[in-house]
Amino acid sequence: MLSRRDLLRAAGAAMAATEASAATTARRETPGSPAGADLPPAPAPMRHDRPHDDQSAPRLPLEALTADEADLLTAIVARLIPSDANGPGAVEAGAVHYIDRALAGALSSSREAYRRGLSALERYARSSRGKPFRELAPIDQESLLIDVETGSATGSGAGFDGSSAVFFAMLRAHTWQGTFGDPFYGGNRNFIGWDLLGYPGVRTAVTPDDQRLGAVPVPMRRSAYDSDMFNKATASTPPKGAPHGDDA
């Protein structure tokens, strides 16, 4: 699996391309570290997605995922972009909330793929490691996800539709979107993803001081959709035959 540094570099490049496109077109709803003993502990199961840094915050209701699916997805994304010495990760950024919200709207065509993929991953965890995924040690969770990523999660206990690598690629892409995308879509809570990348936010105006060599941009703590330059999409299922956000 990608190291956290490589993952952030790749996600930053992808987000930069996305934001450049957003500056000229109306936006539609689109909605770690290597395995080892020093991995951060897995998060406690949650019945709903809510900020880990504020346990008093109300839980966000699920729109597409079941509670068990959300619990499992939380444990998975915690391994894809973990919290560590560099800061909080995908769980704290609200990646699970983003995915759940998107699956109820623009990514609804992926809902069944998530249902089958998460179920197959859990069966593979039980058959190959002897425990549910959430009960595995972090290092075992990492090794299992490597199996899924490389397409080697096979056997009578698996049951992925085709290669498990296809499901992993979709899940990883949506985790990136939920961690590093515009907070308008339900992820990147408290701009955690942008802070990890050192991304200052969408800038609709650039001053001469901003362009000076060595200038450090002041973070723009706002969504792109706070500006009238961008069309605001709504979280709703597209009409039949319309393109989905995962085709963007």
d(CA 149, CA 185): 26
Predicted structure pTM score: 0.69
Model pLDDT, residue 230: 62
**Positions in the chain short of pLDDT 70:** 1-59, 155-158, 204, 213, 215-220, 226-248
Model pLDDT, residue 101: 94
Model pLDDT, residue 225: 72
Confirm whether 27 is domain-assigned.
yes
Range of the domain at 104: 4-234
Confirm whether 52 is domain-assigned.
yes
Confirm whether 242 is domain-assigned.
no
For the chain, how far is it from start to end, CA to CA, in angstroms? 25
Confirm whether 241 is domain-assigned.
no
Confirm whether 161 is domain-assigned.
yes
Confirm whether 247 is domain-assigned.
no
Model pLDDT, residue 217: 66
Confirm whether 244 is domain-assigned.
no
pLDDT tens-digit map of 178-192 = 999 988 889 999 999
Confirm whether 105 is domain-assigned.
yes
For residue 80, the number of C-alpha atoms closer than 13 Å in the C-beta half-sphere is: 28
Domain count for the chain, please give it.
1
CB 10 within 8 A of CB 3: no
